[in-house]
Each structure stands twice: as C-alpha cells, then as structure tokens.
Structure 1
Amino acid sequence: MFPVVAAALVDASGRVLVQQRPPGKHMAGLWEFPGGKVERGETPEAALVRELAEELGIRVAASALRPATFASEPLDGKHLLLLLYICEEWTGEPVALDAVALRWVAPAEMRGLDMPPADAPFIAALERLA
C-alpha cells in the first residue's frame, strides 16, 4: 500500500483548483487534485504542505488542511490510499510548476473532466461541501 495526499484548494467563489498531468507521466493528460506521495517519516499533512510548495509554489500551514475524505483502490499492482484535504487558506498564487495547466472549476464541472479513477469519488463529496 502506498499513501498519497491531495488538496482541494477552494477559492472564495467555491471553485476548486485542478491540474493537468504532463506528458510522459502515468495518466498523462488527466485532471487531478494537486498533491503526491507521502515520504517515509512524513505525516500526511507535512507531505501535502511540501507537495503544494513543489507543484504550485504556494505556502500552506498544516493547520489550514482539513481532512475531507479518502479513496482506496488497486493501482499498478499496489494499493493506493488517497487522502483528500480541503484547504481554503494559502500564501502565494498557484502556478503550474509540475503540470501542463491549472484550472479553477466548480465541483459539478469536474464531472466533465477526465480525472483519475481514485479522484472521481471526491466530486460528490466536494459538491456536498459547496
């Protein structure tokens, strides 16, 4: 099993930031929540703070991350445990440092995006929070 963390960055209008995976990466072209793998010795929150800085160039306090839901599913012979956090406070403007593009969308608009299978169940949870 490998743990992965992701953030639903929510702006003042209730839109959520998604990023498009670059060519050459697994699931290239799909839209996903920013985040990544939890490294050995890291807490999920510390991993997400690190990943958001690396992928988007923003600063997030661990205290600004609110656990929302999770997904559990097989992936490439391993088992993925994906933890989704809600984040409404950060410093800096998100920039696509590790993605092809960024897009702010209403949760319902995510239904029209090609997203990884593990991310799809998060849409309904985000719609309920809106």
Structure 2
Amino acid sequence: MSGLIQVVGGAIVDSLAGPARMLVARRTAPEQFAGLWEFPGGKVDAGEECEAALHRELREELGISVRLGPELPAAAATGWPLNDRASMRVWLAEIIQGEPQPLEDHDALRWVALTDHREVLDLPWIPADFPIVEALLHSLSSQELDTRTR
C-alpha cells in the first residue's frame, strides 16, 4: 500500500445524458479552505470501494442518492493529485433521490451553467480542484462537439 489517501468527488450534473448545470459546494472547514468551492465528496474508508465511498459521502454531505456516470480521466490511476499525501478520483453523477442540502462540511450549494465557463472558473475554487474543473469543462465541451459532428 502506498499510504496515499484516496479521496472521491462528485461532479453532480443536472443530466448525465446532456449536462447543462453542475452543483458545487462551498467549504466551511478546514480554515484554509473555508469559503472556497469544491466537488462534494470525501475520503475513502479502509476496505471501501471508491464508488461506494462516493455514494456514502454524497448521502452524508448533501442528503442525496446519485447515479454515477463516467469517471473523469486523470493522468494517474489514483486520480488527480490534491497534495503530496492525497489524490482524488472524480465521477460525473446525476441526482436520483433527494434535494441537495449543505448538511456537512459546506454552508452553500450552487448550480452553475456548464455552458458559461467563466461562471464556473471565476468561482474561488480549492486550488487542487481547479485543474479538475478545467479538465471537466474541456471534456464536456469535447463530448458536445463530438455528438454534434456525428
């Protein structure tokens, strides 16, 4: 075992089939991240599968159940580096039950338009999440172009 902390995050969209909006969450803690936006999610417990951890975290943090879509590809199998001790794997997800509420670790939730990259990118993101946001927007734009040219 590498000792790397595995974190999972959900890029919660309004529709997996044609995502137009994404739900983002504003952190309350720790102090250095309070007030910054992120993908909701959290740490994977020992012996827990990443997908199961994401389902658990989204129930605990937001009170929702989701259907998972594809994982956002990262350069490493362990996901996107957060720091020298942790990395995050991110999946697209669609709410199938519940109304999202900031139950744990967040004080606000916001739906942002994926078609307006400035609206998304201008939010004060946790620094480690920003490259993931850029990759997600690029990936969704590429998919949109791919489907229009077929």
TM range (shorter): 0.7 to 0.9
Gap regions ≥5 residues in structure 1:
none
Map of 1:2 onto structure 2: 5
Map of 2:136 onto structure 1: 126
Equivalent position amino acid for 2:62 in 1: L
Count of residue correspondences: 125
Q: CA RMSD in A?
A: 1.8
Map of 1:66 onto structure 2: 70
Gap regions ≥5 residues in structure 2:
74-78, 142-150
Equivalent position amino acid for 1:16 in 2: M
Q: 1:90 to 1:22 in 2, by over 3 A?
A: same
Give the 5 Å matches for 1:47-62. Answer: 47-61=53-67
* TM, length-normalised to structure 1: 0.86
* TM, length-normalised to structure 2: 0.75
Alpha-carbon distance between aligned partners in 2 of 1:66 and 1:73, rounded to the nearest angstrom: 20
Q: What's the % identity of the aligned pairs?
A: 44
1:21 aligns with one of 8, 18, 27:
27
- Contact 1:71–1:81 under 8 Å retained in 2: yes
Alpha-carbon distance between aligned partners in 2 of 1:122 and 1:97, rounded to the nearest angstrom: 24
Equivalent position amino acid for 1:83 in 2: R
Alpha-carbon distance between aligned partners in 2 of 1:55 and 1:83, rounded to the nearest angstrom: 17
Task: Decide which structure has the larger Cα Rg and report it.
Answer: 2
Alpha-carbon distance between aligned partners in 2 of 1:73 and 1:53, rounded to the nearest angstrom: 23
